[in-house]
Amino acid sequence: MAQLNDVLAALLTQIGRGRSQADMATLEMAEAYRDHPLLSGFPVPRVTLDEVVIDLKMAIAAAPTHVQQASPAAKAEILERLRPVVQNVVATDPGLQALANRHPGLTKAWVKAWGHAVQRLDAVVPAAGSVDAHAVAMGATAVVRDAVSNTLLMPDTKVGVEAARTFHAREAPRFEERLRDHVRGIIEGVLARQAPAAPGRLEVLITAKDLEGLPPERISTVRLTLRESDRTWMHTEDGEGQPQARLVPA
């Protein structure tokens, strides 16, 4: 059995990761087109998915499990404890640490990027009501992963497209798993001191094998319509006149 939130989060994560990998492939092609005497006048091919529609068949497997309760004080504590985790992720994660040892520019770039990732976590961690620690941990991990992916592609890091692609293919899944487990532990530790758990999580049967043989009235269909939301770099200056870059909605 699976949790419905896990299934939906996994779909969103995979689609986002696919977009990231496709963008890196496009960048590689763009460089080839730019340097080729015949192709330099042609537009670089790039496929865009403005909308993805997924019909997901499932069956409710059991009564809802329990999630924990949050409060504004709990949110503040969670964000405060996540701040150093995000700040030091390049130095503490084995995969990113190895990459930073080869490309010191990554560490310098992350100094400028991690603060924005922490700001985005404010929208991921709820301030009140029922909280699924695993779902919040997956959302927080996705925020940090996106920030890391964007940082790897920044020119100042000198990581390069090939090294970034290798990291995404080999190290990113382990990086995400380690970070997700760490973040989940922090969230559960804080929420354990809050109010008693309340109903919220939903267990479902989702695989073809699980659904095989079930009567039609037990199977439901959930339609997901996902629309693309781009982000772009905005270049500003801080209070001391130093240049800084932020990702904002396009």
Q: What single-letter amino acid sits at 181?
A: D
Q: How confident is the model at residue 196 (pLDDT cuts 50, 70, 90)?
A: low
Q: Percent of the chain having pLDDT more than 70?
A: 93
Q: For position 171, what pLDDT does the model report?
A: 85
Could you tell me the pLDDT band of residue 147, with boundaries at 50, 70 and 90? very high
Residue extents of the structural domains in the chain: 2-249
Is 80 exceeded by the pLDDT of residue 24?
A: yes
Each residue of 92-117: pLDDT tens digit?
Answer: 999 899 989 999 999 999 998 999 99
CA atoms of 113 and 132, how far apart (whole Å): 27
C-alpha span between 134 and 127 (Å, rounded): 16
If you write DSSP's letter for every residue of 38-99 in order, what string do you get? TGGGSPPP----SEEEEEEEEEE-SS--EEEEE-HHHHHHHHHHHHHHHHTHHHHSHHHHHH
User: Residue 97 and residue 152: Cα distance in Å, rounded?
Assistant: 13
The answer on pLDDT for 70 being more than 80 is: no
pLDDT of 160 > 90? The answer is no
What's the confidence (pLDDT) of residue 180? Answer: 93
Give 86's pLDDT tier (boundaries 50, 70, 90).
very high
Query: Are 110 and 141 in contact, with CB atoms under 8 Å apart?
Result: no
Q: At what angle do helices 105-124 and 133-152 cross, to 10 degrees?
A: 150
Q: Which two tokens stand for residue 175?
A: 């990086």
Q: Among 63, 201, 59, 221, which Cα is nearest to 135's? A: 201
The predicted pLDDT at position 237 comes to: 81
Find, among 247, 230, 232, the residue nearest to 16 by Cα. 230
For residue 63, pLDDT over 60 is answered with no
Interval 76-85 mean pLDDT: 94
Q: Could you tell me which residue, 77 or 168, shows the higher pLDDT?
A: 77
- Tell me the mean pLDDT in the region 158-181: 88
Average pLDDT, the chain: 85
What does the alpha-carbon distance between residue 76 and residue 176 come to, in Å, rounded to a whole number?
Answer: 23
**CA 180 to CA 186: how far, in whole Å?**
10
What does the pLDDT read at residue 157? 87
Please say if the pLDDT value at position 83 is more than 90: yes
DSSP strand E in the chain: where?
2-3, 51-60, 66-70, 129-131, 198-199, 203-205, 220-227, 231-237, 243-249
Res. 197: pLDDT tops 70: no
0.85 cut: is pTM over it?
no
Between helix 133-152 and helix 4-35 the angle, nearest 10°, is: 10
pLDDT tens digit sequence for 198-214:
455 678 888 888 888 88
